[in-house]
Amino acid sequence: MIAKVYPNNKNIENLPLIPMRGVVVFPDTVNHFDVGRKKSFSAVESAISAGLPIFMVAQRNIALNDPMIDDLYRFGVVGEVKQVLRFSDTLAKVLVECKYRAKLLEIHDDGEFYSADIVRVPVRNVRAQDVDNADALIRSIRDQMDIYVEFYPRLSAELMQNAYNNTNYHSFVENLAVNLPLEFAEKQSILEESSVLKRLQLLLEILIRENNVLGIEHEINERVREQMNNNQRDYYLREQMRAISSELGEEGDPETEVQDYNGRIEALPVEKVHQDKLKKEASRLAGMPGNSQEAAVIRTYLDTVLDLPWSEFTKDNYDLSKAEKILERDHYGLEDVKDRMLEFLAVRSLTDEINAQIICLIGPPGTGKTSIAKAVAECMGRKFVRMSLGGVRDEAEIRGHRRTYVGAMPGRIINAIQQAGTSNPLILLDEVDKLGADYRGDPSSALLEVLDPEQNSNFRDHYLDIPFDLSKVLFITTANTRSTIPAPLYDRMDIVELSSYTREEKFRIAKLHLLSKQLKKHGLNKRQFSITEAAIMSVIDNYTRESGVRSLERQLAKLIRKSAKLIVAGTATSVKVDGSTLEGMLGPKQAKANIASRTNKIGVANGLAWTAFGGVLMPIEVSVFKGTGRLDLTGSLGDVMKESAKIALSYLRSLPLYYNVPKTILSEYDIHIHAPEGAVPKDGPSAGITLTTALVSAVSGFPIRKDIAMTGEITLKGVVLPIGGLKEKMIAAYKEKMKTVIIPKDNLPDLYDVSDTVKSALLIQPVSNIDEVLKVALLFPEEGKNKQSILPIEDKRPKRVGLSS
């Protein structure tokens, strides 16, 4: 396009126009900028082809794509295009040498690009009478530059040097305007000013205003830096925003926050009196500084209350066939327990009257109590939360802390509800028998309200201080022993007992569940690792001695780890463990032999005892020798067991002469009673018949059968009373390969809970008095053969009629 020349004014030219977005250029400078708009790109190409300069002027609004004349500033710069670097058909980087200032008169659009009618407008230099004013302005500008560089130290040294050495007024002001990081509107205002003196005044005003802003910003930064913690970046950012808002007078209105809280409070399904209490807490925020500690405490409290799942419930699933499959999938044996869980689900499907029924699973460690609870939650489709109570001594762990304390928080029950995200989860209270108590309160007493269906619909946590309905929560508790569960708490629970596993049950569990679980956990498959049935039995017998299967699972995991090492190292592609390789992988046999008597001995009787880890065989040893009538009791015996020993000794004196009991037994003979494994405390009355049998054997010289185990309490007159823990004791006798078990006759109903496998392997002898025990347990010699008694035998003894070994 050829420039149009006006006949009336030869200074007016028509040149291609480039609207500049956010960029202001000055004469006598070299600038480069990107050209991306189609018309601007065409204007550059037209100027190059026609050998014309271009006119560059800044847009008032940088967002406009097709600006009109009113959208452009009136003053711009004419420049010569020196270089164009094209990136695409519509994008290029242009290098322009700026020549002189010009004023925009009119713009034209021919469809391809804009052109502008311009007139050259030179800048008036400083007049002679204004030189002093100009020098004063320059000094003031230099002073402001000294201040500016303190706030903005990134200015180049060349710029500062030019500011101090340049004596040309026009060059001085334009050099600073070009290179200082000012807003483009401020630079444009300097460009539009035609007087150098006024340009100096304008630059001074801009620098003063910029220094004031930078000074305020510096003060804000210093204030924030004093308040913040170097390790808390989020805190720093919040304080900076607050300080800036304070300086601008734009602090946020706390009423918005209060209104938000009030709206959420009104939606809570609680009584109006509790809503009013929460609204009162929210209204306190309006009169507090936003960064005060008390405000943070109130916000935490309100957020905790409002985030609880007050109206969130999961729908229960009572499909018994599905529940049975889940229970059978995850558990072998435990038929009574699985039946009890299915009965529970069946009743729940018929009525909601027993919503708060509490089930307590009692059994030795590793027998599947926790996994049973998880399976019930899966069957019902409820969220599962486990809460361990072992070692809890503070009541606040259950009820929470009052908000008057620093660092107060809700109790574990409310935390479990928050974790589940619903108001009807299944919460497992694990190890309820191991709760403690001290000066901080009794947590078992706090649990009374939680587990009481008459009270827990209005459970009041100390932190919340408003009632929360726990009646829809399904609580299941676990314990190893019922003896240490507080009586009021025990009374609120429905007891379901889990017994120890037999040897065969452990084998099935290992084969059906544990092996596949550990193979998946360790990244192996059945082709890479296998173990024979005999090897599994050997692991059970020789490397574990427990009621559950935890140690068995650890030993299997150890075998799989060692096999994985061989496979990864390339030593083997698959590993098969059998009896010959087992000891090489697990080391020497670890399960120590039981201390039970394995031979027919005098004064040694095999008793049965119950512990929190299941039943055990506990031999009682008695020695009788000449002395002064002293009774020694060793083996960490408790008071009840010591009393049983004294009862046995008293009954011994009343036995007939047939058992060779001398009348001077308490005055001329010392008796020592010992229960092996002396480091283990022992107590309880169920060793009564064992103590009596061992005493009679030691005194009479009749050996005790090695294959008999016994349990039962004895009275002073020889009556055998019932005992507890019969099921576990029977399993212990079965594990130790006893043939006969003597039990109190009153315990016969308890045999219903003993598995058929155990009952079929044992000869059960119910007794009602000690005479029946002695007839079964003692080995009487044939007539004419001497007994091995260490006591003097009377020459005249009644004949032993009707007794057999």
Check residue 249 and give its pLDDT: 55
Note the pLDDT tens digit of each residue in 632-685.
888 888 888 888 888 888 887 777 655 666 666 667 778 899 988 776 787 888
Contact 35, 92 (CB under 8 A): yes
The mean per-residue pLDDT over the stretch 524-544 comes to: 86
Sign of CA dihedral 325, 482, 540, 563: positive
Residue 460, Ramachandran bin (φ over 0: left; ψ between -120 and 50: alpha; else beta): beta
- N-to-C CA span, the chain: 134
The residue ranking higher by pLDDT, 67 or 503, is 67
Class of domain 12-120: mainly beta
Note the pLDDT tens digit of each residue in 511-533.
888 888 888 888 888 888 988 88
797: confidence class by pLDDT, cuts 50, 70, 90? very low
**DSSP alpha helices (H): ranges in 51-156?**
131-151
The mean per-residue pLDDT over the stretch 226-231 comes to: 60
Contact 484, 301 (CB under 8 A): no
The mean per-residue pLDDT over the stretch 564-582 comes to: 87
Which residues are known to be catalytic? Answer: 686, 729
Check residue 250 and give its pLDDT: 46
How far apart are alpha carbons 395 and 440 in whole angstroms? 6
**618: phi then psi, degrees, rounded to nearest 5:** -130, 105
785: confidence class by pLDDT, cuts 50, 70, 90? very low
Check residue 8 and give its pLDDT: 56
Check residue 791 and give its pLDDT: 41
Contact 800, 778 (CB under 8 A): no
Tally of CB atoms within 10 A around 46: 18
For 282-300, b/e burial (b = at least 16 CB within 10 A) is beebeeeeeeeeebeebbe
How far apart are alpha carbons 165 and 41 in whole angstroms? 40
Q: Which residue has the tokens 């003896």?
A: 483
**496: phi then psi, degrees, rounded to nearest 5:** -125, 120
- Lowest pLDDT segment from 128-137, 243-252, 397-406, 440-449: 243-252
| CATH topology classification for 320-497 | Rossmann fold (3.40.50)
Instruction: Please state whether the predicted TM-score (pTM) of the whole model is above 0.75.
Output: no
Check residue 5 and give its pLDDT: 46
Note the pLDDT tens digit of each residue in 153-212.
777 777 888 778 888 888 888 888 888 888 888 888 888 888 888 888 998 898 889 888
Class of domain 128-223: mainly alpha
Q: Which residue has the tokens 């009890």?
A: 340
Q: Which residue has the tokens 């003063």?
A: 208
- Lowest pLDDT segment from 373-387, 434-448, 468-482: 434-448
19: confidence class by pLDDT, cuts 50, 70, 90? very high
| CATH topology classification for 604-777 | Ribosomal Protein S5; domain 2 (3.30.230)
CATH number of 503-586: 1.10.8.60
88: confidence class by pLDDT, cuts 50, 70, 90? confident
Note the pLDDT tens digit of each residue in 393-429.
888 888 888 888 888 888 888 888 988 888 889 889 8
Check residue 552 and give its pLDDT: 87
Q: At residue 245, does pLDDT exceed 80?
A: no
The residue count of the chain comes to 805
